[in-house]
């Protein structure tokens, strides 16, 4: 029978950590802070927590119950409930295949940035020199060093979808490495996965705690935290805020992908999954809020740095143009000086008016960035301006990698478990072969 031959977790803690490692992923770090920024700061927590109770917890509980009771992957579990529902399981496997391909590309990027962090100077800290070694590459100067490293050195994006740009060997090797790491993590099923999750589920929290301690000590971090916790309750009247909250809960908990059913199918029949469903759901949501504290402290530092750099450029422009004393213009009297110089020397001021930037801290904080832009550009730009930037870069991209691998374990389990439950496949192939077969299916 399935119950007699099916492997199981060594202890309930492994199952909980596997669910936490799967649920707590990149969406907690780069999407939830963005949604807070877009929908009223701390006010977004109201629809988010409501959707957690109304949508997240019931569906999470349901998937664990189905997996533990049926002790099969998504296809077998839904087919056992009703043969006509087998298509739901097939659809979840297809979704997991797409997610696995997507997630491991991100893991490859994390590997790429991690490897480049072990340098005397971070490669995205400054623009590279042109071929004559006398000036910087114009494309980089027009944007920024972090943008250039991301779009040109990392992705090397082409001008259109028709121009594929060829194979980027560095990225291709990182992608192969990513799949090899995932393969080793799931090689022996729950035997290997159960041990890996001890690290993938806990290491990101260690890094986030370190980053939070460092983040709140950065100049301008309080500006970011204040921005996060200043609720704009009027934004809650927008239905999109509620839709985004529901979507975030669905995506963050990994509902509907078959991964939770697969994990729960390896539980003992008397396992207390009710308590585990509540614990994992609360940990996931608390992690999103905690990660937002880290992100907004870093974001406040970056915004303040850009704002003060803008003020410095404006001050230098005015001092050089009007031959003023170096310490005559300060941040607190810049607007007064601009008004005075414009009134006293209108013709001369008109020649530089187009070069004067509109420096505004609130505008910097309002600049919303999500996804890869937040993870690989905003954080990279903040890291390069920190002391011991290589250390912070290694920690950050190691954390990003662990989050990605943890989510990959769930995605792969959602694909492998239905394959291993197939009577035909299990008679003719070993589990290692089935895992390799899954890679060819992608």
Give all domains of the chain, ordered by start, each with its CATH number.
2-441 (1.10.4160)
pLDDT for the residue numbered 429: 54
Ordered alpha helix ranges (H), 39-144 = 45-51, 57-70, 74-81, 86-116, 138-142
For residue 439, what pLDDT band results from cuts at 50, 70 and 90?
very low
pLDDT > 50? residue 130: yes
For residue 434, what pLDDT band results from cuts at 50, 70 and 90?
low
pLDDT > 90? residue 325: no
pLDDT tens sequence across 63-77 = 999 999 988 888 989
pLDDT > 70? residue 369: no
- Measuring CA to CA, which residue among 173, 202, 165 is closest to residue 109? 173
pLDDT > 70? residue 425: no
Looking at residues 141-148, what average pLDDT do you find?
Answer: 84
Looking at residues 40-54, what average pLDDT do you find?
Answer: 87
Q: Angle at CA 89, nearest 5°, toward 87 and 92?
A: 110
Burial (CB count <10 Å: 0-12, 13-18, 19+), residue 205? middle
Q: How many residues does the chain have?
A: 442
Mean pLDDT, all residues of the chain: 84
pLDDT tens sequence across 20-41 = 999 888 888 888 888 887 887 7
- For the ranges 33-47, 53-67, 164-178, the lowest mean pLDDT is seen at 33-47
d(C-alpha 24, C-alpha 16), whole Å: 12
pLDDT for the residue numbered 397: 92
Q: Contact, 3 vs 269, CB < 8 A? A: yes
d(C-alpha 165, C-alpha 281), whole Å: 42
φ/ψ of 39, rounded to 5, equals: -125, 55
pLDDT for the residue numbered 2: 45
pLDDT > 50? residue 1: no
């Amino acid at each position: 029978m399935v119950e007699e031959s099916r492997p199981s977790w060594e202890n309930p803690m492994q199952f909980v950590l596997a669910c936490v490692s799967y649920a707590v992923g990149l969406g907690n770090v780069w999407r939830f802070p963005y949604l807070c920024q877009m929908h009223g700061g701390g006010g977004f927590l109201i629809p988010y927590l409501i959707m957690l109770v109304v949508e997240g917890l019931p569906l999470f509980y349901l998937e664990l119950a189905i997996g533990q009771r049926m002790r099969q992957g998504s296809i077998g579990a839904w087919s056992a409930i009703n043969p006509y529902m087998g298509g739901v399981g097939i659809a979840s496997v297809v979704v997991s295949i797409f997610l696995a391909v997507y997630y491991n590309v991100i893991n490859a990027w994390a590997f790429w940035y991690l490897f480049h962090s072990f340098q005397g100077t971070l490669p995205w800290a400054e623009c590279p020199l042109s071929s004559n070694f006398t000036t910087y590459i114009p494309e980089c100067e027009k944007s920024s060093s972090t943008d250039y490293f991301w779009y040109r050195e990392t992705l090397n994006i082409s001008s259109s979808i028709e121009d594929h740009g060829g194979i980027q060997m560095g990225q291709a090797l990182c992608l192969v490495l990513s799949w090899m790491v995932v393969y080793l993590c799931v090689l022996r099923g729950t035997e290997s996965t159960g041990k890996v999750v001890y690290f993938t589920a806990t290491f990101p929290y260690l890094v986030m705690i370190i980053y939070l301690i460092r983040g709140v000590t950065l100049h301008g971090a309080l500006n970011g935290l204040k921005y996060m916790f200043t609720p704009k309750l009027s934004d809650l009247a927008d239905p999109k805020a509620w839709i985004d909250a529901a979507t975030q809960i669905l995506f963050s908990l990994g509902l509907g992908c078959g991964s939770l059913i697969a994990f729960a199918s390896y539980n003992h029949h008397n396992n207390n999954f009710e308590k585990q469903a509540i614990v994992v759901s609360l940990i996931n949501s608390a992690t999103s809020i905690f990660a937002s504290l880290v992100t907004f402290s870093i974001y406040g530092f970056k915004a303040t740095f850009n704002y003060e750099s803008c003020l410095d450029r404006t001050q230098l422009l005015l001092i050089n143009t009007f031959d003023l004393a170096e310490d005559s213009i300060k941040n607190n009297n810049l607007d007064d000086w601009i008004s005075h110089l414009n009134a006293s020397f209108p013709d001369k001021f008109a020649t530089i008016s187009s070069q004067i930037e509109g420096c505004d801290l609130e505008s910097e904080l309002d600049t919303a960035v999500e996804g890869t832009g937040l993870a690989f550009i905003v954080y990279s730009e903040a890291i390069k301006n920190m002391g011991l930037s290589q250390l912070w870069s290694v920690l950050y991209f190691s954390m990003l990698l662990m989050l990605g691998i943890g989510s990959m374990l769930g995605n792969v389990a959602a694909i492998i478990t239905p394959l291993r439950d197939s009577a035909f496949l299990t008679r003719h192939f070993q589990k290692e072969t089935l895992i390799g077969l899954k890679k060819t299916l992608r």
